Amino acid sequence: MTAVNLTSVAQAEQGTSLWKDAWRRLRKNRLALFGLAVLTAFILIALLTPWLAPYAYDAQNLDLGASPPSAEHWLGTDIFGRDLLTQIMYGGRISLAVGFVATAVALVIGVTWGAVAGYVGGRVDAVMMRLVDILYALPFMIFIVLLMVVFGRNLLLLFLAIGAVEWLTMARIMRGQVQSLRQQEFVEAAVSLGLSPATIVRRHLVPNALGPIIVYTTLTIPSVMLLEAFLSFLGLGVQPPATSWGLLISYGAETMEEYPWLLIFPGAALTLTLFALNFLGDGLRDALDVRGSGD
């Protein structure tokens, strides 16, 4: 009896070992590490853009016009003679910000929704998940276009609209996790200690479901960024003078015949980021041993 207790205590003491173990496995996955490195670099660049950018965001040189890559302008300039590297750096700030903030919105809604449905169970669960099913069936791309048209094109709404769409899978995953966790003894123990359901969910259930949450967060960010770029490409997302990778690609596509670098470099920035996030997400899924679920 004591032996059993000792091992379980020892396991509990080494709570971090799961993460160490996962990190060890992740380190062996070269593609995932590459993704992590690219992502870290891009985030640092985005944070430091005001100091790193070679030119001022609004600096024009109309005499120069569109020029191919050169020693002064590494990635060339656009038709107003603005430095493309500077544009891409500032655009990346917005694209990444939309990606992270909208995913955070989706995360909060999805985790809360799924945890409540899974913990309360019964009729409440049935109604909540039925709603998720119905929302799944709605064609959201069409609805986001509609929202942008109706309420004007502002960034805050873009965050909310995208976040409101992307929480569904997260809710399903969280519910599944909570349903299996709440059968376990430590939850029973917490209940008998008199903890409130909210505390149990926050302190005991969410931390235990962290693996799948992290994996699906990593995989949600690229799909959010893609959505933003898609909307900006159609002219319904980020509006000038602000810019984003999607918007830069859309300008680049207009003039690609004469100035192909205006399309290729912003496109490469977006593709590389999506690549990095997908590889990292796949790698994390393997490292944390999360079974495939949701879609």
Partner 1 sequence: MWRFVVGRLLQAIPVILAVITVTFFLVRVAPGGPFDSEKAVIPEVKAALEAQYRLDLPLGQQYLAYLGDLAQGDLGPSFKYPGRSVNELIAAGLPVTAELGAYALLVAVVLGGLAGVVASLKPNSAQDYIPMSVAMIGICMPTFLLGPLLVLLFGIHLEWLPVAGWGDIPGDKILPSLTLGAAYAAYIARLSRAGMLEVMSQDYIRTARAKGLPEWQVVTRHALRGGLIPVVAFLGPAFAGLLAGSFVVETIFQIPGLGRFYVQAAFNRDYTMILGTTVFLSTLIVLFNLLSDILAAWLNPRLRAQYGEA
Closest CA to 219 of 58, 110, 122: 110
> Minimum distance between the CB of residue 267 and partner 1, rounded to whole angstroms?
4
> Minimum distance between the CB of residue 68 and partner 1, rounded to whole angstroms?
15
236: exposed, middle or buried (Cβ count in 10 Å: 0-12, 13-18, 19+)? middle
198: exposed, middle or buried (Cβ count in 10 Å: 0-12, 13-18, 19+)? exposed
88: which residues sit within 8 A by CB, 6+ positions away? 75, 245, 248, 265, 266, 269
Does residue 241 have a cis bond before it (omega within 30 degrees)?
yes
> Minimum distance between the CB of residue 35 and partner 1, rounded to whole angstroms?
11
Tell me the longest C-alpha to C-alpha distance in the chain: 84
Q: In whole angstroms, what is the distance from residue 93 CA to residue 293 CA?
A: 31
127: exposed, middle or buried (Cβ count in 10 Å: 0-12, 13-18, 19+)? exposed
Nearest CB to partner 1, comparing residues 229 and 284? 229
Q: What are the start-end ranges of the E strands in 45-85?
A: none
> Minimum distance between the CB of residue 153 and partner 1, rounded to whole angstroms?
11
Nearest CB to partner 1, comparing residues 38 and 195? 38
Nearest CB to partner 1, comparing residues 126 and 234? 234
> Minimum distance between the CB of residue 245 and partner 1, rounded to whole angstroms?
9
> Minimum distance between the CB of residue 240 and partner 1, rounded to whole angstroms?
16
Q: Which two tokens stand for residue 103?
A: 């995913």
DSSP state of 95: H
Nearest CB to partner 1, comparing residues 191 and 236? 236
> Minimum distance between the CB of residue 13 and partner 1, rounded to whole angstroms?
38
CB-CB contact of 254 with 266 (8 Å): no
Nearest CB to partner 1, comparing residues 113 and 245? 245
Residue 171 identity: A
Nearest CB to partner 1, comparing residues 138 and 189? 138
Q: Which two tokens stand for residue 9?
A: 């205590």
Provide the binding-site residues for partner 1, judged by CB under 8 A. 134, 137-139, 141-143, 145-152, 222, 226, 229-230, 233-236, 246, 249-250, 252-253, 256-257, 260, 263-264, 267, 270-271, 274-275, 278-279, 295
Nearest CB to partner 1, comparing residues 55 and 266? 266
